[in-house]
Structure formats: C-alpha cells, structure tokens
Structure 1
Amino acid sequence: MSLPAFAELLERLVFTPGRNAKLALLQQWFAEQPDPDRGIGLAALTGELVFSVAKPGMIRDLVASRTDPELWRLSYDYVGDLAEAVALIWQSRAGVNAPPPTLAEVVEALETTPKAELPALIAGWLDTLDASARLALIKLVAGGLRVGVSARLARVALAEWSGQPVEDIEEVWHGVAVPYEPLFHWLDGRGPRPDPRDAPIFRPLMLAHPLEDADLAALQPQDWRAEWKWDGIRVQLTAGPGGRRIFSRGGEDISNAFPEILDAMTFHGVLDGELLVIRDGTVAPFADLQQRLNRKAVTARMQRDFPAAVRLYDLLFDGHEDLRTQPFDIRRARLEAWFARTAPPLMDVSALIPFDGIEALSAIRDGARAASIEGLMLKRADAPYVAGRVKGLWWKWKRDPLTVDAVLMYAQRGHGKRSSFYSDYTFGVWREDGQLVPIGKAYSGYTDEELLWLDRWIRNNTINRFGPVREVDRGIVFEVAFDAAQLSTRHKSGVALRFPRIARIRRDKPVEEADRLETVMALVETRAS
C-alpha cells in the first residue's frame, strides 16, 4: 500500500463520524490492501507503531531549512498541528518525480537509516508526495494519529470482515507482532489460528458501567458482591513458562516500570488487580503512583520511595485452566485459595465488603471519601468474566465529585479535530499573597459552542506566549469538578486535582472571587489503609 492510499484512508476516517461507517472503511481496507502494508497501517492506527528516531524537533528544523524560519514559526503557531503545518508549507524541489514509498519501505528505512541521514530521507519522501500524503507521512513518523479508531474498534472491524468472533481475535492480538501477517493469514483463510502457547499475552479486561439511580433501585442485594474501588491503575499480571508481563488496562506492557512486581510473579496464571503504592499497609495517593508510571526503567531509590504492590481482584487463569466462564463467586473462591497456596510477595486480595441492604451499602459508599477511596465496585455473584463493558454485570459506584472555582491561566491547542482550537486549559487559585498558582489542567466538560467562545476569547486576551502555550488575561472563572485533591511537588501550588473537568463557565463570577489555595488544601485527602 502506497502512502497516498494510506493518506486517503486517514482522510476518510477523519471526516467519517459514524462508527459503522468507520468499520466499513476499515473492512474495505483489510480486504483490498496487501501484506505487510495493511498490518503496518493497522499498527499505526492503533498506536502500536512507534518510531524513536524521528523526533518532532528534527522535523521542525527540517522544514525551517526549506522555508523562512519566521514564516514557519507563524504558520505552525496558526495551524497548531505539526503534520498539518508541514503538509501545507512544504516546498518540493523541482524535477522530483520518484514514486511515493510504500508503508513497508517507510518502516524499513526508518529502522535502518543512520540518525544523521534521516532529515535527507524524510525530505526526499516529502518531495514526492502531495499535501495529503505529506500529512500522513508526518503522522506516521512522529505519531499522533487521531482519527477515531481505537484498538477495540479495529478488532471489531477485523471480526466483521473475517467472520471470526472478536473475542478470538483479542485472544491472539497481543501474541502476534507487527505487521500481523499470521493474524491476517488466519482471518482470510490462508493459515491456522495463531497459537500464543504459553506466551504472556494480554486478555481483554472486564469493565464496569457507572451506577445510575435507576440501576441502584433495581438491585437485589443478595445477588451482588461489593468491593472498594481503589485509586490506582488497573493491571493484568500474566506469568507462565513463556515469560512474565504486567499489562495496563489498555494492554500496554508496563513491566519495565515495576521490576519488583515482575520478580514476584513466579506463578503460572493470569490475575486482574489494582496497582498501588502501599507503605506499611497504607495506600498512598495516586500522585505517588504517578512517579512510577510511564518510565522505561526505575532506580532502586524510586522503588524504595514509592513501593508498588498489587491488590488482586480476580483470577482469570489458574495455570492452563481458563476460569473466565465461571461465576464470580467461584472465581473469587479460587482466587482466595490460590493466594493462600501461592502467597506471592507484594500482593494481597481486595476484601469483599459485607452489607445487608442498599441503604447500608450507600452509607458505606458515603464514607469512601474520608477513607481516600474512589467508591465501590458491585459485581453480580453469577457473572462470568466477559471482555469489554457489558451492562448489568459489574457496576462502579463512585463517590460524588468535588468542585472548586478556578481562574483560567494558560491555554494550548488540542489534538485531532481540536488542533485548530485552544481547548486545553490550565487553571489556578489565589494564594495569600494575591498570586495565582496552577492546580490542574482540563480539556473536557464544555460544549462545542462554549469551545468556540473560549477560543475567540483566548486569542483576543493573550498576554504572553511560551512556545505552543498562551498565557491569558485573568478574566474567566471555571467551576471545576474533580475526584480528589492530592499533594504534588510538580505544581507550584503544591496540590494537584485528580480527573479534573470543567463543570461550567462561571461568566457571572469575578475572578477575584475564585477560590483560595487554602480551600483546595483543605480537600487534600488523608491516606487510606
């Protein structure tokens, strides 16, 4: 598949809002494109294709060498998206008429070309392409493909195209490397189903729906089991003869960031749990866990200062035995027996919470904030472990959010469809000395109409610029909803908000009446055990 064909796919996906229409585009593409390019394109769409050599800074310097640097700076600032700006401003050299590269040629060249020769390589490709294909190339090389295609949607498209159950595709997905040729050979009938054997592959997690009042009223207490909803990150531990891996909720391999957990996985099985920082049996705030996330390696000091552990929820495989079709009560009993027998270090089992009625359970949930816990999980006693979010089997009943009135301080452009709008907002509260200090960043919670209004206001009230960030005049107050306030050394205020989102724009409120830092500090949570 040539880059122009991939560019056409990206363009059609961007301008196709409907889920079914996106599925149809993907199915057509799987059917018509050859190997290995269709697998490379699939990996690019789902975020599995990552290049570490071609940095955005190198691409910016390359473009600046072909045009006036000030014109490039102004153009990039106006457009807001690197790939779009490059696609529009690039001036091809006269006389270049080489054929555009295929995806396979791009991947091979990026993996084998010395770093010093990469600018010339990329410039040569850009010279052969039109604006649409240039955009696709830069998105492919630098990352940032946001066309509304998740890995789950791609797997559903593969299932509908091939006629194979999506659950079967998900079982082998992580056991096949890019460009997925054994997977495609199986799906189009030219080969056997890939067998991961004992490879430590990711099994899709079971997810919960938010519990609404109508759902709560229909619950029969005897049919449900309750657990705390711990404030860490969901992980899957997979270990056996073929190796050990720690996967995040989305299937990302995070093993390198938690080597002590990996060392403790001497068992053969697959477990579902919550990764936390725990000190002397006490769960630390999520901000402590953040110190360990997104790291390729961690030091001994970091392991000592932020000791990781896993609180186990479920047992999916005991050795080779698949327990996912068993009811929750049976899996829970097997988990407790497995833990008593195996006793892996740095792990424990999340306790079940006894309750005799919905009112009692509601009272328990009301105490979650005081205990610095997110809320409750409710699981049907007879529920199998089903991939994805199946309504009526698991509920998450989170505590009510907190709110604070904060002042807009900085704005930055968004990504994808929002790349032309200032849609990411940093907000702060007043300190005793009259200075605003940032406490968080949000990019959700407003309507399209409010986004247009905010974007215009920000452009008209910019007082300073720091690269892509605009500092704005103090004139807008947001009511910000959030799940928790936690101490943070990364913020000048000393505090950060957990899952902040904009509840409403307080056009009625003067900025002088926004909240004070001491108000936010009073909301900082104690640590839970």
Structure 2
Amino acid sequence: MQAFSQLLDSLIYTRSRNAKLDLIGAYLKAAPDPDRGWALAALTGDLSLPAVQPSIIRALVSQRVDPVLFGLSYDYVGDLAETAALIWPGADMPDAAPPRLSEVVNELQLLTRAQAPVVMTRLLDRLDANARFALLKLATGGMRVGVSARLAKTAFAEAFALDADDVEEVWHAVAPPYTALFAWAEGTGPRPSPEDAPVFRPFMLAHPLEDRDVDLTDYAAEWKWDGIRVQLVHVGGETRLYSRAGDDITRSFPDVAESYQTPGVVDGELLVRGDVQGGEAASFNALQQRLGRKTVSSAMLSDFPAFVRLYDILFDGPEDLRPQPWTERRIRLETFMSRLDRDRFDLSPLVDVPDFSALEELRLGARDAAIEGLMLKRRDSPYISGRRVGLWYKWKRDPLVADCVMMYAQRGHGKRSSYYSDYTFGCWTENGELLPVGKAYSGFTDEELMMLDRFVRNNTVARFGPVREVEKTLVLEVAFDSIHASKRHKSGLAMRFPRINRIRTDKPAAEADRIETLRRMVR
C-alpha cells in the first residue's frame, strides 16, 4: 500500500507525460502480483468497490473530528479524500504493519455497506496520511491524478516493450488483477486471446480537419452523427454493446442488443428515433433519457426507441476485416446489413460532393438535430486503433454562441480542487428572471481560471453546501454544439457540450441573451 501511495503522490505532482509514463512503468515492474494488477485496474478505471460511498467517509471523519473543523477544512482543501486523509487523527497502533494493496482490495471487494464503516476505520488507523489518501481514492473510485486509461495502458506497454495497440487488443480479454497479462508481458505466459469472447476492440478515431491540404478524390465523406459511438459484438452466441470508452452498456439498450444476433463486430452511432413513422434520428437530448440506466422500462423503450447507424465493420463472423481498405470494408458492411433488422440498424449514407466548397456549404448548413458535422475517410485506410494522421478526419460544424450570466460555481477535481472552476450560467426571461441554461468547466486558460476563481470568492452571496451563488454581474460567452428542448430543466433548454468561449467583462449583465433567443436555436 505504501508503494502505491507513493506512486499516486508522485503522479499528482508530475506534469510531464513522459515522466508519468516512467513512474507508472517503474512501479509495474517493481511491484509484485497481484498488487500491480490492482494498481493498474485502479488507474484505468476497471476497479469497482461500490460498498464505500463518500457519505460513509464524511460520517467516519465527523466521529473523530469536530464537524465544524472538518467542514471548514473540506471547504478550503476542496477534495474529500485529501481532507479526510490529512485530518484523520489515527490511533495508537505501533505494531500494526500497513496492509498490502491486494489485501486492501480483497477486503473491500467483500464488503457490504453495513460493514464498510468498521473496516474503513481499521484500515485508516493502520496507515499514514499519504497511504490514507491512496486508500480513500481507491475505495471511492475517484483517482483524478492526471492519468487517463490510455496513458496507463501505454505505460504498461512501454515498461514491457510491447506494442500499445496490441495491448489494447487483448485488454478486454483479461480481468483484474491481470495476472495473465503480466505473464505475457514478462514472457512467462501466452498472449491472451480475445477471439472466443464478445470483447471490446479499440475504435479507430479521427483527427480534426485543420486545413484543406487533402485530395478529396482519395477520401469518402459521410455525416458525423450526434449520438454516441458504439461497437456491437456477437461472438459465441453472446451480444455485447460497448461505448467508445469500452464500457459495457448492453443493459441500457436491450432492444438493440436483442436485435443483433449476427456473428461479427460493427462500429456505428447509437441514436434514438424521433418521428417513429418517418424513422428520423432525434436529438442527443432524447438519447440522454436512456443513457446510464441499469434497467429500462417498457415505456422508455417505447418512447425512445434506439437504433444504430452503422459506419464500419471490423469482423464478419470470425474473419478479421480490419486490415482491409475502407472501400472493401464498406462493400462487406453493405452485404452484412442485409442480415440485420432494419428497424434497429441502418447504414450511414455517403455524401457525394465535387469539391471542398460544396462540402463546406453542406457542413455550414448542417443544423439537423442529429448531425454534428462531416467525416472524411481515406478510401485505402485499414481500421487501426487510435488516431493516425492522414487516414480519418472530422470536420465539425461551427459552434453556437450565447452571452450568459454566471449564477453559481463549484470547486473542480484533481488539480482544480482548490479553484472554483465549474460554472452554472443562465439567460434572462422576458420578465427579467435569470434561469440556468447550462454548466461548463472548460474553455478557459489557467490565467482566466485564476480570474474567475477570484470573482467567485469576492462576489459570493450565498452558500449551498459546496455550491456558491454569486452576484449576477459577470457575462460569459458560451459556445455549444447544439441546444435542445428539455423537460428536466427549469429553462426548458439543455445545451450540448457547453464551454466558456470568452469572458465578457465589457458587457453589462442586463445585456446578456434571453431565453427566447436560445429557443430559436433549437432544432
């Protein structure tokens, strides 16, 4: 546990990507099994310990520390795990050796929520402040140490001189603590095989189109649909539906999974039908009604019927088509489509244009509820995981913008835990009431973050737990991809991917946009 806590501490204070890779790699080579496997699972988000909830941690600390002192400390530090680790008084246990990481994980995996307080108290008493921080991050699942799953996998690959794409290929064929994966990496075991199981394969991704120095005759154009990218896998009589991150979302979309019974692996966009009679795709807001649900009611299935618009095919039965050029895979996909349920699957159509001028005109006019922009795919490109320059490009439509007024702020996470970096903003009704229309935590520089944090601290008018209400005087120009009607929000609107585009210190709050202006942007 001590070595793992030292790794997390070093990662938090390390900015360099290469330095992070070296730190993780050194730990993975030095730590024993299964400790290193559980550490890798924690860094990649593959470790789930649901018995320990943040509310339990708050309650435990409040039993040992004056609740007012804890509240003030938490408000200052901004991170629950860090606050609890620092303020926990511990116990006089001189003979209690710190537990191994695997010991901690094994114990926490078997916990019920009723048992969690007793076990967590005993573990916290056996650890110093750094190890307590690691324990709490591990138990609550909120690592936030500046390491993505991809970076951790890359560190593993580099540490053992493996190809990162090959690691991605076999990753989902093994489970934590990845004993077989480490055996393969160290040459003491075979390469794990994903062939006979419905496992996730890494997606091929696109680079943003930043110039027009590409020959359109070498590329096929198609719409970039505004749903979520998914992969459908049917192997050995089992079907799985995976998100772009590799999360299994089959239970959230049983209607799609049950309709996909043809052996193979396809890549597409998960959408919801708007007009069931016409069969057109609805906005992303409609799809959101079903995202993240563990169980889906019959009413939800009826009101928001899901379908997949197919882009590509990776496997046709057991045959791996990824090495073949896009043109060949497209032909195979069209043939494969004939075996699928047409109510649940269709083919993303190609866009036939003579030149970039015509393509740009199409992109600028693409304000359909389910269209996010355009894709360019090199006709001779194989299907390769990750982003490769020159093969696929995405050309998103220009964002919409609106001038909004900051209303509330919250502290961020990780490196931003000491700053108010999450901002809720609103627009005016015709009666002069300010209603929230969105929330953003990106788009600004570090210098602008300092300025915004200072504004929140100097202009707080009320506190609601971690939320600060501020004076309604600062205008933020907000960029967003689209806006949709929403019954879940008081304003009746929901923004798609809002981010801070500009801080309008030059504009009076009274001149910010009105709700009616945003309603006219709804498609």
Partner SS for 1:410? strand
**1:207-226 matches, cutoff 5 A:** 207-212=205-210, 214=211, 216=212, 218-226=213-221
Find out whether 1:168 has 2:166 as its counterpart.
yes
- In the alignment, residue 175 of structure 1 is paired with which amino acid? A
Question: Is the CA contact (8 Å cut-off) linking 1:208 and 1:395 kept in structure 2?
Answer: yes
TM-aligned CA deviation for residue 471 of structure 1:
0.7
Deviations 1:348-385 (A, max 9, x none): 11111111112121121122115651111111111111
Partner of 1:275: 270
Partner of 2:235: 240
Counterpart pick for 2:396 among 381, 395, 398? 398
> More deviation in 113-122 or 180-189?
113-122
Partner SS for 1:116? coil
Question: Is the CA contact (8 Å cut-off) linking 1:264 and 1:344 kept in structure 2?
Answer: no
TM-aligned CA deviation for residue 114 of structure 1:
3.9
Partner of 1:482: 480
Instruction: Quote the Cα distance in structure 2 between the aligned partners of 1:407 and 1:49.
Output: 39
TM-aligned CA deviation for residue 447 of structure 1:
1.2
Counterpart pick for 1:59 among 22, 38, 57? 57
Partner of 2:252: 257
Question: Cα RMSD (Å) of the superposition?
Answer: 1.2
Counterpart pick for 2:461 among 463, 470, 473? 463
Instruction: Quote the Cα distance in structure 1 between the aligned partners of 2:82 and 2:465.
Output: 17
TM-aligned CA deviation for residue 432 of structure 1:
1.3
Question: Is the CA contact (8 Å cut-off) linking 1:426 and 1:441 kept in structure 2?
Answer: yes
Describe the shift of the 1:257–1:370 C-alpha distance in structure 2 as closer, same or farther (beyond 3 A): closer
TM-aligned CA deviation for residue 278 of structure 1:
1.1
Partner SS for 2:327? helix
**1:418-437 matches, cutoff 5 A:** 418-437=416-435
Partner of 2:138: 140
User: Structure 2, unaligned stretches of length 5 or more?
Assistant: none
Describe the shift of the 1:185–1:431 C-alpha distance in structure 2 as closer, same or farther (beyond 3 A): same
Instruction: Quote the Cα distance in structure 2 between the aligned partners of 1:325 and 1:96.
Output: 60
TM-aligned CA deviation for residue 189 of structure 1:
1.0
> More deviation in 494-503 or 165-174?
165-174
Deviations 1:312-338 (A, max 9, x none): 000100011111111111100110011
TM-aligned CA deviation for residue 219 of structure 1:
2.1
Counterpart pick for 2:509 among 508, 511, 523? 511
TM-aligned CA deviation for residue 460 of structure 1:
1.6
**1:98-113 matches, cutoff 5 A:** 98-113=96-111
TM-aligned CA deviation for residue 94 of structure 1:
2.6
Partner of 2:127: 129
**1:71-220 matches, cutoff 5 A:** 71-212=69-210, 214=211, 216=212, 218-220=213-215
TM-aligned CA deviation for residue 171 of structure 1:
1.2
TM-aligned CA deviation for residue 182 of structure 1:
0.5
Partner of 2:261: 266
Deviations 1:2-54 (A, max 9, x none): x1111100011111111111111111111100011100000001111111111
Partner SS for 1:171? helix
Question: Is the CA contact (8 Å cut-off) linking 1:199 and 1:242 kept in structure 2?
Answer: no
Deviations 1:43-73 (A, max 9, x none): 0011111111111001100100111111111
> More deviation in 466-475 or 402-411?
466-475
Partner of 1:45: 43
TM-aligned CA deviation for residue 506 of structure 1:
0.3
Sequence identity (%): 57
Partner SS for 2:115? helix
- In the alignment, residue 76 of structure 2 is paired with which amino acid? Y
Partner SS for 2:258? helix
> More deviation in 245-254 or 160-169?
160-169
Output the TM-score relative to the length of structure 1.
Answer: 0.96
Partner of 1:31: 29
Partner of 2:4: 6
Instruction: Quote the Cα distance in structure 1 between the aligned partners of 2:338 and 2:251.
Output: 27
Output the TM-score relative to the length of structure 2.
Answer: 0.97
Partner of 2:498: 500
Question: Is the CA contact (8 Å cut-off) linking 1:407 and 1:475 kept in structure 2?
Answer: yes
TM-aligned CA deviation for residue 344 of structure 1:
5.7
Instruction: Quote the Cα distance in structure 1 between the aligned partners of 2:28 and 2:120.
Output: 27
Instruction: Quote the Cα distance in structure 1 between the aligned partners of 2:57 and 2:218.
Output: 58
Find out whether 1:16 has 2:43 as its counterpart.
no
- In the alignment, residue 258 of structure 2 is paired with which amino acid? D
Residue correspondences, number: 520
Partner SS for 1:316? strand
Instruction: Quote the Cα distance in structure 2 between the aligned partners of 1:487 and 1:343.
Output: 30
